[in-house]
Structure 1
């Protein structure tokens, strides 16, 4: 990428200048909507832990609020610690009664986890003339993330896939809905113009909710030489990952969304967890790892604790080199505002037309029954788990 120029804002800019401009120009999305504050619905199955799908809802909501839009959240199940975090950071109470949700009352409705069939699509005095519908699909392996359903086909103006492989899988379902990949992108606050790490390995942040035996044992080995911090259910701290945590680390070890955080911060990242992983990213493994959303599934490579700890220390220079690489254009792929702004400028059909299409498709009744079944079984499962914990 050395020497590349981009045409942006009426003039040419280097990749670093382009990234800086992007970070400080997120307000244009409100202007694209004629300066009008929009009503936005974000709906999902659950909001209780600090896991990928829940953090996505939080980050989407924070961004839309930062533009001055009104955000309402729905989840079948709401609980701590995420509930408190949402109330503190957003000042909103999560709705968990689907009968009180009328999607046509919103300018934009984003839905994930098969909740679309729960809601009331009747038109009334508060309904908008048009609603943009965006469906999120965060995996190709889970029923909750599966696509191609009638609600998708009749409602969705765009589908947001978390990875290239998820997007390819959705296109194979045969639908005509545009599919975009948002790459589990990171909020603007994580991005830095220069590497965060000092170049010497001192502080290591492990971010995982899992307890992979090899990784946990390797953390113990490393802690005798370095300052090791473990964030997640299986560690000493269960809390949201912040830009300050990533910026203050010499190395992040993780999979999933936390990898994008580290890439944005230009902090060396070692991709490894319970699925294994490629380790330090470089030009030879980056695209394959990214296509699997940095889950570690890309290479089926698992190490024992001693080999894992040795590789983390021995190859740290490789992580530093990738963090220092001139790759601003690649990093823009993981810039969340770019992906969300596109959802604010869709051109949907009228809600009256949508309602007519839905009324002529009787099979929607089956999907509504399926959505109710998913809701009830998930709630029963969580209540059972809570009862078991209370009895321990």
Structure 2
């Protein structure tokens, strides 16, 4: 039986952040369902390419992709539009469009907004990651008001039923960890807690069940929240937007509606406040943790495959209009790709370079400090050596002076004279007489 083929499209695969994990985990689940999975991105970092290969997902360039050969196409960040030139659209109009999912992952990042009418014309399904994103897209027309909320689901390998009775080991998961969280981490470590940081500025690696199951609580936002919920780990929802803190049955609905981004309560806390929140918290798993089905990617893929079985390729009649829309979309997608590239440069590359420069400057300052300390030590040693040489020189001078005095003729004559006088003045005893004279 011929395997079904899927193409997953995204803007960039550069770091282990939310949108990258969406692609990787979706691809892994499709591979588990015996799909051949290819991925396209404007740029793929070497570290991410290795993760894709490990998951059995093959990266493809524009020239290697034949859109008509796929049964399922998933696209986010408008990446598919760069592949939909007039020729590709003309071919798809002849053979029919495959099952296409357009995903929108943010209500405020411009690259996540629809481009032209082409999307609504060819989309089989339009999905959003939160109610907030769905409300933002509703203004684009009826097709977007029917968008399905798929709340960043993840794999069931994160499921754990191990109870948490005390919090001593905390995991921060963030690629943009705010200063107050880093300061709170130092306070927690001083108080005896073990606090690890996964992401930019800490251990840069892909999240996995072993890392999550090894901690007692998580400080994070976004997709990692769903992973922690499956793992039955308490979540302190807070990052660069702020956040509600510990997720409870009372604040869950508002936090979930905004994709656990923290924007539901965009209030910044101090390091002391975060420290107090965490140290006073008593582990208590909220009731909503039992509602895990929407957070499982296999649940959504099962629904998708049921829908895919009944899908029939759509052959549009207005081929000329579709080609015109494709030209507009492609031009806009090139602009969007450049905008996305600039966004990536400003948000990730520039901060990384700034951190590198700051680390380099700190290293230079530390090195200069070490050099100054070394020079001070050398000067102290030179001074000690000089003082020692002075003492040795003084002793040599004293020895030479004594030696000269000992060799002085006047001293020799005086010593001989004193010795002669002492010897001559000594009286002779009877015992000292010659024995012959005693006879």
TM-score over 0.5 for the pair: yes
**TM-fit CA distance, 1:341:** 2.4
**Aligned residue in 2 for 1:86:** 52
- CA contact under 8 A between 1:153 and 1:175: conserved in structure 2? no
Q: After TM superposition, list the pairs within 5 Å mapping 1:24-35 onto structure 2.
A: none
Correspondence for 2:138 among 171, 192, 201: 171
Cα deviation 1:335-391 (Å, max 9, x = unaligned): 11111222222344524x14x4453242432221011222345557878959x9599
CA RMSD of aligned residues (A): 2.6
In 2, the alpha carbon distance for the partners of 1:281 and 1:312 equals: 12
Correspondence for 2:208 among 242, 247, 254: 242
Cα deviation 1:44-68 (Å, max 9, x = unaligned): 1111211111110000000000111
**TM-fit CA distance, 1:93:** 3.7
Query: Aligned residues, how many?
Result: 344
Indicate how the Cα distance of structure 1 residues 172 and 383 shifts in structure 2: closer, same or farther if over 3 A, else same.
Answer: closer
Correspondence for 2:107 among 140, 143, 154: 140
In 1, the alpha carbon distance for the partners of 2:236 and 2:344 equals: 33
Cα deviation 1:250-292 (Å, max 9, x = unaligned): 1111011111111111111110111111111112100000111
**Aligned residue in 1 for 2:153:** 185
Instruction: Answer with 291-300 or 374-383: which moved more.
Output: 374-383
Unpaired segments ≥5 residues, structure 1:
1-34
- CA contact under 8 A between 1:150 and 1:364: conserved in structure 2? no
Instruction: Say yes or no: does 1:365 pair with 2:330.
Output: no
- CA contact under 8 A between 1:264 and 1:331: conserved in structure 2? yes
**Aligned residue in 2 for 1:322:** 285
Work out which of the two has the higher radius of gyration on C-alpha atoms and give 1 or 2: 2
Indicate how the Cα distance of structure 1 residues 155 and 130 shifts in structure 2: closer, same or farther if over 3 A, else same.
Answer: closer
- CA contact under 8 A between 1:278 and 1:285: conserved in structure 2? yes
SS for the counterpart of 2:226 is helix
- CA contact under 8 A between 2:188 and 2:195: conserved in structure 1? yes
**TM-fit CA distance, 1:207:** 0.5
Indicate how the Cα distance of structure 1 residues 48 and 250 shifts in structure 2: closer, same or farther if over 3 A, else same.
Answer: same
Cα deviation 1:174-209 (Å, max 9, x = unaligned): 1326411111112111123x2x34311111011011
Correspondence for 1:277 among 239, 243, 256: 243
**Aligned residue in 1 for 2:297:** 336
Instruction: Say yes or no: does 1:217 pair with 2:183.
Output: yes
Q: Which has the higher helix share?
A: 2
In 2, the alpha carbon distance for the partners of 1:371 and 1:87 equals: 27
SS for the counterpart of 2:300 is helix
**TM-fit CA distance, 1:117:** 1.9
Instruction: Say yes or no: does 1:101 pair with 2:69.
Output: no
Q: After TM superposition, list the pairs within 5 Å mapping 1:65-76 onto structure 2.
A: 65-76=31-42
In 2, the alpha carbon distance for the partners of 1:262 and 1:327 equals: 10
**Moved segments of 4+, more than 6 Å:** 380-384
**Aligned residue in 2 for 1:307:** 273
Indicate how the Cα distance of structure 1 residues 341 and 359 shifts in structure 2: closer, same or farther if over 3 A, else same.
Answer: farther
**TM-fit CA distance, 1:238:** 0.4
**Aligned residue in 2 for 1:375:** 337
Unpaired segments ≥5 residues, structure 2:
358-439
Indicate how the Cα distance of structure 1 residues 146 and 50 shifts in structure 2: closer, same or farther if over 3 A, else same.
Answer: same
SS for the counterpart of 1:166 is helix
**TM-fit CA distance, 1:327:** 4.6
In 2, the alpha carbon distance for the partners of 1:68 and 1:307 equals: 49
SS for the counterpart of 1:303 is coil
